[in-house]
Amino acid sequence: MKSLRVLSLALALALSACRGSEGDVLRTQPDMSEPDGGTTRPRPNPLSTWQIQLSGALVTSLDVEVYTADLDTPSAKIEDLHRAGRIVLCYFSAGTRESFRSDASEFPVESLGSPLANYPNERWVDIRDATVRAVMRARVARAAEVGCDGIHPSGLAAFLEDTGLALGRADQLEYNRWLSLEAHSRGLSSGLVEGDLSLTEEQVADFDWVLVWSCVDSGCAAAAPFVAAGKPAFVIEYGDAERAAEVCPRASALKLAAVVKRDANLDAFRAGCP
């Protein structure tokens, strides 16, 4: 498996050198200022075609450049995606305790906040707590071990929510930067998955890409700092297959890589944009 992975990366770099296109599927973007000394895995490019699936048996056959899958996805599935030339971003919540995770019992009781309104099986966690950070560090390390190319951490704007914890904006900014550095130190890309415009403005230098939701009709202002910086910006809209005809032109005009999902379950259904 390892030799196939190396071959896949070598082929990707060769293709990039031949075409020199901003639309190349796999184009490593080394940054010698990063703690890993510039040894990075393939990263998404702006306007990459993509899929996100976080529920149901993972379908790996879609012809897209980037996949977001759950951190608990078997490494064999990740290898399948790599062999097909896909970049794999691995999802986990970085701001809550998800009761189904194998490490759920490791969060100290005193670090737990309120349940989430729409996800009662999750509770906010105190991102200042050393044990909480140890759990998250282990998740990032696991992402690197199983072959993920980047992390897709949610819950990075907890200070805007009713968490039951005394979290301030400064706490959030420091935690988010810490988490992104943990990813970069292992050669992984990291995405800012939640946030308002002011948050993305302050953190565009810390993250490699951004994800926003249901905003093409209003202009997706929170994604604008990443677009202006030439970094990938992804958007999820909800609806059926017919909605793509409306979403795709608007997303393209905003320089966003869009995908239409049926609902918040984020199953295998996808209506994407070329």
The answer to whether 236 and 214 are in contact (CB under 8 A) is yes
* Sequence-ordered list of residues with C-beta below 8 angstroms from that of 218, at least 6 positions apart, any chain: none
Q: Supply angle C-alpha 158, 159, 164, rounded to 5.
A: 80
Q: What pLDDT does residue 39 have?
A: 65
Per residue of the chain (274 residues), give pLDDT as tens.
444 443 444 433 333 333 322 323 333 333 333 444 446 899 999 999 999 999 999 999 999 999 999 999 999 999 999 999 999 999 999 999 999 999 999 999 999 999 998 898 999 999 999 999 999 999 999 999 999 999 999 999 999 999 999 999 999 999 999 999 999 999 999 999 987 899 999 999 999 999 999 999 999 999 999 999 999 999 999 999 999 999 999 999 999 999 999 999 999 999 988 7
Domain assignments of the chain as residue spans, ordered by start: 2-272
Q: CB neighbours (10 Å) of residue 208?
A: 24
Topology, domain 2-272: TIM Barrel (3.20.20)
DSSP secondary structure of 190-235: EEE-S--HHHHHHHTTT-SEEEEES-TTTT-GGGHHHHHTT--EEE
Q: Please give the structure tokens belonging to residue 74.
A: 């078997």
What number of H helices and E strands is found in the chain?
A: 7, 12
Q: Supply angle C-alpha 132, 138, 140, rounded to 5.
A: 105
- State residue 34 phi and psi, 5-degree precision: -75, 155
pTM of the model: 0.85
